[in-house]
Amino acid sequence: MTRIKQAHIKPSLEKTAQPRNRPFNSVATERNTMKVSSKLHDGRINAWNILLEIKIGDYEELVAGVLTNNVYQRKRVGSSKTVYSLLREDLKRGCIIPPVVLALTNSATDASRIDDSELSEYIKENAQDLIILDGLQRTYTILDLLKELRRSEDEQGLKEVLSATIRIEIYIGINRLGILYRMLTLNTGQTPMSLRQQIEMLYLGYLDKDIEGIQLVREADGTTANGPGKYNFKDVIDGFNAYLDRDELPIWLGPRKVVQ
């Protein structure tokens, strides 16, 4: 197979690649079944969108080490248990779910120049640089279902779920602004982001700034700002916006209404 020559850019979401081991599976399933359905150029963010069909077993392997790669993504949602329990049951029955949207952050490659026959291998070889833009909670639900079936030793059920086909979208050649734009516009799922989380995304770059003696804590980290020198990131954002708007009310309350 001809190797694809590509120009690399520094990943905008740089993370240490996690080990990606094939999950233990006592049920034999057909592997390497990633199929390219379409390849479209997104002119708004100047990136290629690849729509693929993939077996759940292959998807499990593809994302096994990248669930926490996206620093802009929310943590795992603990609510909506009824919704995701219903989704697990739907998956057992072969229900078609909305595509999970991912991005490949390490590449400036023009995907139109890669043959479909080589594209799936290219994605697998660079899987450690994948991030999930939309569908993290669906992905956790899929992985939870597979763990449940393995734990209960339901080999028939496990085989059926692993061999089921889902759709995924992968953006290739997308930059940081494209990632933010797509995450905001894709946020129309079952568990939408709060306004707070969306505002934090816009200002997230400031977390990388070296501020001596100060530690900023994000809502998505699941930690609290206890102790000297620790501040909630959202409070800092509120303060900054209050300064710009000349209004001390927090963002979620909106601008103050002037009483005549």
- Reported as a single tens digit per residue, the pLDDT across 226-254 is 778 888 887 887 887 777 777 776 655 55
The answer on 184 and 96 residing in a single domain is yes
Whole-number pLDDT of residue 177: 85
Identify the residue with better confidence: 70 or 154: 154
Residue after which a domain boundary falls, among 170, 193, 216: 193
Give the total number of structural domains in the chain: 2
User: Residues 30, 4: contact at Cβ < 8 Å?
Assistant: no
Q: Is residue 253 part of a domain?
A: no
User: Residues 73, 63: contact at Cβ < 8 Å?
Assistant: no
Instruction: Work out the angle at residue 143's Cα, subtended by the Cα atoms of residues 142 and 149, and round it to the nearest 5 degrees.
Output: 90
The answer on 123 and 78 residing in a single domain is yes
From the list 217, 214, 211, 208, the residue with the least C-alpha distance to 229 is: 214
Q: Is residue 154 part of a domain?
A: yes
From the list 148, 169, 145, 28, the residue with the least C-alpha distance to 94 is: 145
What is the model's pTM? 0.62
Rounded Cα distance between 169 and 96, Å, is: 15
| Per-residue confidence band for 10, with pLDDT thresholds at 50, 70 and 90 | very low
From residue 10, how far is each of 105, 175, 176, 211, 258 by CA, in Å?
9, 10, 11, 24, 48
Whole-number pLDDT of residue 73: 61
How distant is the alpha carbon of residue 133 from its chain centre? 3
Domain that holds residue 243: 197-248
Residue after which a domain boundary falls, among 193, 210, 238: 193
Q: Is residue 95 part of a domain?
A: yes
Whole-number pLDDT of residue 74: 60
From the list 214, 186, 187, 39, the residue with the least C-alpha distance to 123 is: 39
Check whether 213 has a pLDDT greater than 90: no
Rounded Cα distance between 44 and 178, Å, is: 8
Q: Is residue 71 part of a domain?
A: yes
Whole-number pLDDT of residue 187: 62
The answer on 92 and 156 residing in a single domain is yes
Q: Is residue 204 part of a domain?
A: yes
The answer on 219 and 144 residing in a single domain is no
Residue after which a domain boundary falls, among 163, 178, 193: 193
The answer on 206 and 189 residing in a single domain is no
Task: State the chain's mean pLDDT as an integer.
Answer: 76
Buried/exposed code over 145-154 (b: 16+ C-beta within 10 A; e: otherwise)? bbeebbeeee
| Per-residue confidence band for 12, with pLDDT thresholds at 50, 70 and 90 | very low
The answer on 146 and 235 residing in a single domain is no
Whole-number pLDDT of residue 42: 93
The answer on 132 and 108 residing in a single domain is yes
Per residue in 31-74, pLDDT (tens digit) is: 557 899 999 999 999 999 999 999 999 999 999 888 877 666 66
User: Residues 36, 50: contact at Cβ < 8 Å?
Assistant: yes
The answer on 98 and 209 residing in a single domain is no
Rounded Cα distance between 141 and 171, Å, is: 22
The answer on 220 and 171 residing in a single domain is no
The answer on 125 and 62 residing in a single domain is yes
Q: Is residue 30 part of a domain?
A: no
Rounded Cα distance between 173 and 76, Å, is: 27
Q: Is residue 12 part of a domain?
A: no
Rounded Cα distance between 121 and 34, Å, is: 9
* Amino acid present at 249: L
